[in-house]
Amino acid sequence: MNQIKITTTQMLDELCTQAAAAPRRRKNLNIHYSEQSPCNRLYNAGEPDTYIPPHCHADPVKDETMIIIRGKMGVVFFDAQGNITETTLLAAGGENLAVTIPAGMFHTSVMLEPGSMIFEAKAGPYAPLLSHEKVAWAPAEGAPEAPAFLAKLKKLFM
């Protein structure tokens, strides 16, 4: 049976602490009831040195909405060849608070302050990225080139 879920400041503080201690320097907290849920909803906390490789969600129902809860996050959009087409800065208490990314659009996000956090929603069920949703023109997570690529992306917001 589904139960009411209340998000507390303490829960979000703990999530930020877990993200800072995690090897990937990010951590999510799902608030949907199962990976099979038709709508995936989660908090994602991350540190400025976490690297999320550019990707897309090709399924036409997988638009993705991100709302900044804490800190600052840059979102970078690319064409299929890896050219940057647009950027947006989300900042808690700032002018831009959320972005909805259409299905099929290549993108990544970069955390710009320690303890940054977003609320994310997209259609379920959860599915790992497929090969055609990943890109060859950017380093994979953990690749030796990833920190330099991340630094280049962060400079877009300085």
Where exactly are the structural domains of the chain?
9-127+143-155
* Helix (H/G/I), strand (E/B), else coil: 134: strand
- Give residue 86's pLDDT: 98
How much is the pTM? 0.95
9-127+143-155 sits in which CATH class? mainly beta
* 23 contacts: CB under 8 Å, gap ≥ 6: none
Pairing of strands 98-101, 84-91: unpaired
Average pLDDT, the chain: 96
Q: Strands of 106-111's sheet, edge to edge?
A: 84-91, 72-78, 106-111
Tens digits of residue pLDDT in 20-74: 999 999 999 999 988 889 999 999 999 999 999 999 999 999 999 999 999 999 9
